[in-house]
Structure 1
Amino acid sequence: MIAAIWAQDEQGLIGKNHKLPWYLPNDLKFFKKMTENNTVVMGRKTFEGMDSKLLPNRQTIILTHKPDYHVEGALVMHSIQEVLDYAEKFEGITFITGGGEIYKLFLPYTDVLYRTFIKHTFEGDTYFPYIDWYDWNMVSVSEGEVDEQNIYPHDYETYQRRKI
Structure 2
Amino acid sequence: MITMIAAAGENNELGKDNDLLWHLPDDFKRFKELTSHHYIIMGRKTFESFPKPLPNRIHLVITRNENYEKDGAVVIHSIYEALKIAENDENPYIIGGGEIYNIALPFANKIELTRVHGTFEDADTFFPNFSEDEWRLVSKIAHSKDERHKYSFTYETWVRN
TM-score relative to the length of structure 1: 0.93
Structure 2 unaligned segments of length 5 or more: list them. none
Q: Secondary structure at the match of 1:28?
A: helix
In the other structure, the counterpart of 1:79 is 78
Q: Secondary structure at the match of 2:19?
A: coil
CA shift, 1:150, in A, is 1.0
Task: Tell me the C-alpha RMSD between the 2 structures.
Answer: 1.2
Q: Over residues 51-110 of structure 1, what are the superposed CA-to-partner deviations in whole Å (9 max), with x where a residue is unaligned?
A: 4x200111111000111111122211111211121232x233110011100000010000
Percent identity of equivalent pairs: 41
What amino acid does structure 2 have at the position aligned with 1:155?
T
Q: Secondary structure at the match of 1:97?
A: strand
Runs of 4+ in structure 1 over 3 Å off: none
In the other structure, the counterpart of 1:21 is 21
What amino acid does structure 1 have at the position aligned with 2:153?
H
In the other structure, the counterpart of 1:128 is 127
In the other structure, the counterpart of 2:111 is 113
Structure 1 unaligned segments of length 5 or more: list them. none
In structure 2, distance between residues paired with 1:121 and 1:157: 17
CA shift, 1:145, in A, is 4.3
In structure 1, distance between residues paired with 2:147 and 2:123: 23
Q: Aligned runs of 1:46-61 on 2, under 5 Å? A: 46-51=46-51, 53-61=52-60
Task: Give the number of aligned pairs.
Answer: 160
Whether the 8 Å CA contact 1:19–1:50 is kept in 2: the answer is no
Whether the 8 Å CA contact 2:12–2:129 is kept in 1: the answer is no
Q: Secondary structure at the match of 2:158?
A: strand
CA shift, 1:30, in A, is 1.1
TM-score relative to the length of structure 2: 0.94
Q: Aligned runs of 1:130-145 on 2, under 5 Å? A: 130-145=129-144
In the other structure, the counterpart of 1:66 is 65
